[in-house]
């Protein structure tokens, strides 16, 4: 592989924004990819994947390069040199790479790979919490899997097409997919491709949604004609899945504290041909109180640490703080207490997170069931999804039923 100056400069600019300006990697990369209209798919792929790679392995690369935050451009070029050397890419004779100790880099990498926090490139505190909650064996495998690049998984919009039809449409566009056993609406890409530019996407035949995330709507056990509330709907990946399972019949109330996210959901719903969704911003307790005892099904896709989806958001490792996890556990219990009141008698509730920590998952459910509000519910079942066991994102979901 030959390194091209303009592509490498784009990566360095992106890293500056992610590491020093606290910007989100996915947003930064979206901007970078619009930088030069002449870039082909390969160029854009290089910029996106290299930026993500260096973000993912920041701690390891910084240690090998002997640089400390905040990183100036010279520091970032040194980290880039480490990345290239470890990938076996020949460094061009640019001034940024003068005196790069190639052999020392490889030796240092072998040495540091014996220590989990460097090998998996994570902060000490995340390692400690993972170890404490999952144990040595599970945590070691889980955090290793969280550093693997995630597959691209599509969820077929069954309101508009079938899995077989969509597979054929994509095949004609040279995009090969395969079915995944146990995931009725999923298609996995065998090779990465930009599916967002296809007519099939623009016509709402599919959404990009990880396989684990697709389990949640199924878990909710919805039927056409029900009244369903998605309490933390965000941009609506699960809302749209619920709508397709309900065959567009009945009513879904999609709620969120962020109006901007619901606006995105509105656009996506239109593209998906979904017309049984009402959007509600949670700007006070009023919208929740209005729905007390009204819903057949309530989904609480609770805010969480996101430790089950680090493969997709590698920069989260560096943005998360221990205090945030303490605060989020309080929030999780609050939303369970408040939003569970919307479930009518005999109705069902799913509590879900994209975390792998029991303290955010089964412990929260147990604490809720022991509380006054929770006394009205019975535990039906739960599912713990670990990335190293499933091959997909880490997730948790619990199904509770309100006593009739």
> Which of the residues are catalytic?
354
Interacting residues of 246 by C-beta distance below 8 A, sequence separation 6+: 222, 223, 224, 225, 226, 228, 252, 276
Can you list the alpha helix ranges (DSSP code H) found in 203-321?
211-219, 237-245, 259-272, 286-290, 316-319
User: Residues 204, 195: contact at Cβ < 8 Å?
Assistant: no
Furthest-apart CA pair in the chain: how many Å? 74
User: What are the strands, taking DSSP E only, across 35-152?
Assistant: none
User: Residues 269, 275: contact at Cβ < 8 Å?
Assistant: yes
Q: Count how many Cα atoms sit within 13 Å of the Cα of residue 241 in the half-sphere of its side chain.
A: 29
Query: DSSP letters of 136-156?
Result: HHHHHHHHHHTTSPPPPEEEE
Distance (Å, rounded) from C-alpha 185 to C-alpha 213?
Answer: 11
Q: Is the peptide bond before 70 cis (omega within 30 degrees of 0)?
A: yes
Distance (Å, rounded) from C-alpha 96 to C-alpha 86?
Answer: 17
User: Residues 73, 16: contact at Cβ < 8 Å?
Assistant: yes
Lookup result for tokens 């919009």: 157
User: Residues 256, 282: contact at Cβ < 8 Å?
Assistant: yes
* Residue 347, beta-bridge partner list: none
Token pair in block for residue 167: 């597979």
Count other C-beta atoms under 10 Å from residue 81's C-beta. 24
Distance (Å, rounded) from C-alpha 339 to C-alpha 19?
Answer: 37
Count other C-beta atoms under 10 Å from residue 167's C-beta. 18
């Amino acid at each position: 592989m030959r390194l091209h100056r303009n592509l490498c400069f784009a990566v360095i600019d992106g890293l500056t924004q992610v590491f020093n300006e606290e910007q989100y990697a996915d947003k930064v990369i979206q901007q970078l990819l619009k930088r030069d209209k002449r870039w082909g798919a390969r160029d854009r792929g290089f910029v996106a994947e290299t930026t993500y790679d260096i973000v993912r392995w920041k701690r390891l690369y910084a240690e090998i390069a002997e640089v400390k935050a905040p990183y100036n451009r010279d520091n970032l070029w040194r980290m880039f040199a480490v990345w290239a050397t470890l990938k076996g890419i020949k460094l061009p004779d640019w001034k940024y790479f003068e005196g790069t100790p190639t052999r020392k880099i490889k030796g240092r990498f072998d040495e540091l790979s014996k220590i989990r926090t460097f090998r998996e490139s994570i902060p000490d505190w995340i390692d400690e919490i993972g170890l404490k909650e999952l144990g040595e064996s599970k945590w070691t495998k889980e955090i290793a899997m969280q550093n693997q690049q995630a597959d691209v998984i599509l969820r077929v919009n069954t309101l508009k097409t079938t899995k077989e039809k969509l597979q054929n449409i994509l095949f004609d566009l040279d995009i090969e997919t395969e079915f995944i056993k146990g995931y009725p609406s999923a298609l996995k890409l065998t090779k990465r491709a930009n599916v967002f530019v296809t007519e099939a996407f623009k016509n709402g035949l599919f959404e990009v949604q990880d396989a684990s995330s697709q389990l949640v709507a199924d878990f909710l056990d919805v039927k056409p004609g029900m009244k369903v509330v998605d309490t933390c709907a965000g941009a609506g990946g699960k809302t749209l899945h619920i709508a397709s399972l309900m065959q567009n019949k009945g009513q879904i109330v999609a709620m969120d504290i962020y109006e901007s996210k619901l606006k995105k959901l509105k656009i996506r719903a239109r593209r998906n041909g979904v017309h049984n969704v009402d959007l509600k911003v949670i700007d006070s307790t009023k919208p929740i109180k209005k729905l007390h005892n009204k819903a057949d099904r309530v989904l609480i896709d609770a805010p969480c640490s996101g430790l089950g989806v680090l493969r997709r958001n590698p920069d989260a490792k560096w943005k998360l703080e221990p205090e945030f996890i303490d605060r989020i556990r309080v929030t999780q219990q609050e939303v369970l207490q408040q939003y569970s009141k919307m479930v009518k008698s005999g109705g069902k509730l799913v509590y879900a997170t994209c975390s792998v920590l029991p303290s955010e998952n089964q412990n929260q459910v147990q604490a809720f069931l022991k509380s006054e509000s929770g006394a009205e519910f019975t535990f039906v079942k739960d599912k713990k999804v670990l990335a190293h066991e499933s091959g997909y994102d880490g997730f948790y979901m619990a199904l509770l039923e309100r006593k009739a």
